[in-house]
């Protein structure tokens, strides 16, 4: 059993899938929907899993880097920026912004359309 909190954000950014046929093989934009949830078995002294405002601020800082940008450049990679890779990168960025949360796990889901997403889940701290 665990408690959980979450937030949702959106950002428009460009990516390319090298070696894929058009249109995926050329730079193109997506309106990404990012869902972030944090879970842990016990609440902190303030009665929270994590302060939602802190989580919201961390996501805003990361999406500001992504907005209207080439995600390959933002992530510093020549590899295809898939929703799976993007969710892992977002998890790492958000984890840095949140610091250590005892026995907490965070899941990041990145939606590139209304019916397709990638996700990454790992412990925080």
Instruction: Give the pair of three-digit tokens for residue 90.
Output: 């977002």
Q: Answer whether residue 53 is part of any domain.
A: no
Give this prediction's pTM: 0.93
**Burial of 11 from C-beta contacts in 10 A (0-12 / 13-18 / 19+):** buried
At 10-48, the pLDDT tens digits run 999 998 877 877 877 788 899 999 999 999 999 999 999
Note the pLDDT tens digit of each residue in 94-103. Answer: 999 887 788 9
Into how many domains does the chain fold?
Answer: 1
Q: Is residue 112 included in any domain, yes or no?
A: yes
Domain of residue 14: give its range: 1-42+107-125
Confirm whether 113 is domain-assigned: yes
For residue 70, being part of any structural domain is answered with no
Please indicate, yes or no, if residue 101 is contained in any of the structural domains: no
What are residue 9's DSSP bridge partners?
Answer: 34
Residues 35-62, mean pLDDT to the nearest whole number: 96
Residue 64 in any domain: the answer is no
49 assigned to some structural domain: no
For residue 117, tell me if it sits in a domain.
Answer: yes
């Amino acid at each position: 059993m665990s408690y959980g909190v979450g937030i949702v954000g959106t950002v428009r950014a460009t990516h390319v899938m090298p070696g894929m046929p058009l249109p995926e093989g050329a730079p193109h934009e997506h309106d990404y929907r990012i869902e972030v949830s944090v879970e842990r078995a016990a609440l902190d002294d303030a009665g929270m899993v994590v302060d939602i405002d802190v989580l919201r601020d961390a996501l805003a800082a990361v999406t500001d880097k992504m907005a209207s940008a080439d995600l390959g450049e933002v992530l510093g990679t020549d590899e295809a920026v898939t929703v799976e890779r993007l969710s892992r990168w977002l998890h790492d960025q958000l984890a840095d912004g949140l610091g250590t949360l005892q026995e907490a796990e965070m899941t990041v889901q990145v939606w590139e359309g209304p019916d397709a997403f990638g996700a990454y889940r790992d412990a925080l701290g």
